[in-house]
Amino acid sequence: MQLKAVLFDLDGTLLDTAGDMGAAANHVITGLGLAALPDKVLACTTSDGAYALLRAGIPPALLEQHGLERLRGRMLEFYGENLCRHTRPYDGVAELLGWLDQGRIPWGIVTNKPAALTEPLLAGLPLFASCGVTVSADTLPQKKPHPAPLLHAAERLAVAATQCIYVGDHRRDIEAGRAAGMVTIAAGWGYISAGEHPGDWQADAVLDSVPALWHWLRDAFSPGC
């Protein structure tokens, strides 16, 4: 079946948000008198979200004492006030999205980031003005690895799920894409969790850079494919 659309994860796939997510986590962690998480830990934990970042820097007893949900609330409040200080698109993303727009290939974002953070983040980056659909963690009752958010995005783009490609940097992205019947691509340039190997996720392709993804997509959407 002919491919017609591309869906992306956000953090670690289109945007390098580790600097701002890490700053928010470290704001909470250092506020408890603990050492800040180093960049190496942030790079392999950011894709797992706020809970994972806090657990990486705060001992279990202290988490219980202060309450994980309360600490997460502090972290997300700080993050929401500092969404785009260090966040940048990965090299090649602007060119890739421009190529999709020029070719009139619909594209969208399916993320496990809450809408209250996703929407202002994207609104602050003109690069995403032509995004055809955005599905956040709380758009539906389900979130990835459930396939429902991807199926919803495909429906919003008026494209069959089997005609979509989903690109993400986490095992749950590939699981969700496969369950939705989409072609899946593992973003090897993203926030790969410690001990994870994208080659084990059963994606249709594992790519190591955004330019490599662009090359793959040019072939996939070329006439006759």
Q: Six-digit token pair at 140? A: 């539906």
Given the residues 9, 16, 48, 169, the one annotated as active site: 9
Taking CA atoms, 101 is separated from 23, 30, 88, 97, 189, in Å, by 33, 43, 20, 6, 23
Alpha-helical runs (H) found in the chain: 18-31, 39-45, 50-57, 60-66, 68-81, 93-102, 115-123, 148-156, 171-179, 210-220
Based on the residue annotation, tell me whether 39 is a catalytic residue of this protein.
Answer: no
Quick count: other Cβ atoms within 10 Å of Cβ 60? 9
Q: In whole angstroms, give the CA distance from residue 41 to residue 108.
A: 29
Report whether 40 contacts 201 (CB < 8 A): no
Which amino acids are annotated catalytic? Answer: 9
